[in-house]
Amino acid sequence: MTASQDRGQFGSKIGFILSAAGSAVGLGNIWKFPGKAYFNGGGAFLVIYILLVALIGTTVMLAEFVIGRHTHKNAIAAVREINAKWSWVGGLGVLTGFIILCYYCQVGGWTIHYIIGYITESKTIYADPMNYFLTMLGANGFPLRGAIIFPLVFLFLTAFIISRGVAEGIEKMSKVLMPLLFVLLIGLMIRSCTLPGANEGLYYMTKMDFSVIGTNAILTALGQAFFSLSLGMGVMITYASYLSSDENLVSNTGIVCCLDTLVALFAGFMIIPAVFATGIDPGMGGGFAFATLAGVFSSIPGGTIFGLLFYFLLFFAAVTSSTSILEGLVAFLTEEKGWERKKTLVGVSVILYVIGIFYTLSQAFMNIKGIWVSRAGVEFPIFGDFLEYLTDRLLLPLGSFGVVLFVGWIWGTDKAVQEATSNGKYKFALAPVWSFLVKIVAPIAIGAILVAGMFMGMAIS
Ligand code: TRP
């Protein structure tokens, strides 16, 4: 048995694509993206986002795929095998993944809260969607369900899937659920865009007013691109390490990036027109995918069923992403530290669960008081924004920066292109362009964004 077989492998090409897309498509696309587009200028932001995905996102993703597939190892071991001094690039990802999962599991828990909500109390949701959302977060008493119970259920399911291994758990699940999600999103998008009053939203999402795009919008777009494409923490390195040597990494990169961006755009065009049509603007609290959509569901025949289906699929999109992060963490800790898989899973889960609780608790305050909270005369940032700032503005760009420098300058793009084309088996006409992007453009762009992010501090939206 070869080392790679020993670690488990994806059973099929489509299984890998759907799993990588499953990791990419998640809460980032449906819960985060529409709000970012809304607060950063609508149509112009979409253009910036697409450009950054095309130039930087695809570049980093292929670099991660190449490292993982070349070595068939977890992120740290993979980088170390090529050059030991650079293993920090993989190691950083463990920290990033841990922080992301802290809040990811909370929001994942909210999706379960809404599934149950649409089954048992859809009338309460429709009566006052914003109040329902805020109550879940703890605006009217301790959020036992929103912060404690459902996030725990979500985390438990994530850990359970991971414990079953790659092919059986992640791959099977993604194959069924990703296509379903796609179809449902398109259906809901059409409904939302045809609501009375949706036109204004459509106008907003296609308006090309670049005067609103400043440094902050660009920083937001790039951070969002890394988050949404699952880049900068070694997840794609780890996934590609389970891939056999004759898959076409270049076309896989294109497919995954396109799918992920399409889903984000669909989500934007599903949610923003609904904001305008229903007048439910949930402010900065990430309530777009929760509060706003109630307006759509209450306006369509059988809306409650659609609502139920939607949160069910949002939940699965979240699970296929959270599993990818947890898998990255566990692959590292078990293979590097020699820890036992089940014990590692439980230990890591407990710690991130406890930290995550504070995320949901802080959200209620944010909706009430804005981003900065004042306590005893001292202003301090909301915990949730702090986590997001750490991951999207600093750690994911830093991880991606490490990946492109490593592939561009340490390992060398010639060897990377060899691996990308499976030693010449596949054509890669854009190889010189990619090499240039990896070596020069991406490091400069990401480096600039990192520095700007540090100086601009936490003013994110
Ligand atoms: N991309 C996922 C989303 O959009 C989240 C995610 C999964 C992620 N794995 C990641 C983000 C690795 C950064 C790094 O929801």
* Ligand 1 atom 7, closest CA: 321
Q: Report if residue 432 sits inside a domain.
A: no
> In angstroms, what is the span from residue 326 Cα to ligand 1's centroid?
11
Sign of CA dihedral 332, 337, 343, 344: negative
Q: Can you tell me which atom of ligand 1 is nearest the CA of 24?
A: 1
Phi then psi dihedrals of residue 381, to 5 deg:
-75, 150
Range of the domain at 240: 5-409+437-456
- 243, two tokens: 């891939």
CB 236 within 8 A of CB 321: no
- The Cβ of residue 380 has, within 10 Å, a number of other Cβ atoms equal to 10
Cα of 228 vs centre of ligand 1, distance in Å, is: 5
Assigned domain for 359 exists: yes
24 CA distance to ligand 1 middle (Å)? 5
DSSP strand E in 288-333: where? none
Q: Are 224 and 24 in contact (CB under 8 A)?
A: no
What is the C-alpha to C-alpha distance for residues 76 and 96, in angstroms, rounded to an integer?
A: 13
Task: Flag whether 166 is in a domain.
Answer: yes
Q: Whose CA is nearest to atom 6 of ligand 1?
A: 230
**Among 419, 244, 241, 201, CA closest to 335:** 241
- Indicate whether 119 belongs to any domain: yes
Closest-CA residue, ligand 1 atom 8, reads 230
pLDDT tens column, 231-250: 999 899 988 988 888 889 99
Which of these, 112, 101, 280, lies nearest to 198 by C-alpha position? Answer: 280
Pocket test for ligand 1, best of 102, 185, 227, 352 (most atoms within 8 A of CB): 227
Question: Ligand 1 centre and the CA of 235: distance in Å?
Answer: 8
Query: Can you point out the beta strands (E) in 153-277?
Result: none
The rounded distance, in Å, linking the Cα atoms of 273 and 192 is 6
Phi, then psi, of 379 in degrees rounded to 5: -90, 130
Q: Please count the structural domains in the chain.
A: 1
Along the 461 residues of the chain, how does pLDDT read in single tens digits?
344 445 556 666 677 787 788 899 999 999 999 999 998 989 999 999 999 999 999 999 999 999 999 998 888 888 999 998 988 887 888 899 999 999 999 999 999 999 999 999 999 999 999 889 988 988 788 889 999 999 999 999 999 888 876 566 667 777 777 788 889 899 999 999 999 999 999 999 999 999 989 888 999 999 999 999 999 998 999 889 888 888 899 999 999 999 999 999 999 999 999 999 988 877 655 688 999 899 889 988 888 998 998 998 899 899 989 988 998 888 788 888 889 988 999 999 999 999 999 888 887 665 544 445 444 444 445 677 778 888 998 999 999 999 999 999 999 999 999 999 999 999 999 999 999 999 999 999 999 989 988 877 555 44
CB atoms closer than 10 angstroms to residue 30: 27
Cα separation, 155 vs 353, whole angstroms: 8
Ligand 1 binding pocket (C-beta < 6 A) is 23-24, 26-29, 100, 227-228, 230, 233, 235, 321, 324-325, 396
Q: Which of 235, 395, 396, when mutated, tests ligand 1's pocket best, judged by the most ligand atoms within 8 Å of its CB? A: 235
**88 token code pair:** 């920090």
Quick check: is 419 in a domain? no
Instruction: Identify whether 415 is part of a domain.
Output: no
How far does CA 246 lie from the centroid of its chain?
28
> What's 118's domain CATH number?
1.20.1740.10
Kindly give the number of the ligand 1 atom that is closest to the alpha carbon of 324: 9
Say if 461 falls within a structural domain.
no
Instruction: Measure 226 CA to ligand 1 centroid, in angstroms.
Output: 8
Region of 8 on the Ramachandran plot (φ > 0 left; ψ -120 to 50 alpha; else beta)? left
Return d(Cα 261, Cα 266) in angstroms, integer: 9
**E strand or H helix at 381:** strand 378-381
Q: Which atom of ligand 1 is nearest the CA belonging to 235?
A: 12
Tokens for 343?
């014990």
Report if residue 160 sits inside a domain: yes
Of 353, 313, 340, give the one whose Cα is nearest residue 148.
353
CA 353 to ligand 1 center in whole angstroms: 17
Give tens-digit pLDDT for 138-181.
878 888 999 999 999 999 999 988 887 656 666 777 777 778 88
pLDDT tens for residues 44-86? 999 999 999 999 999 999 999 999 999 988 888 889 999 989 8
Angle between helices 303-337 and 172-193 in degrees, nearest 10 = 140
For the CA of 318, the nearest atom of ligand 1: 15
Count of Cβ atoms closer than 10 Å to residue 246 Cβ: 10
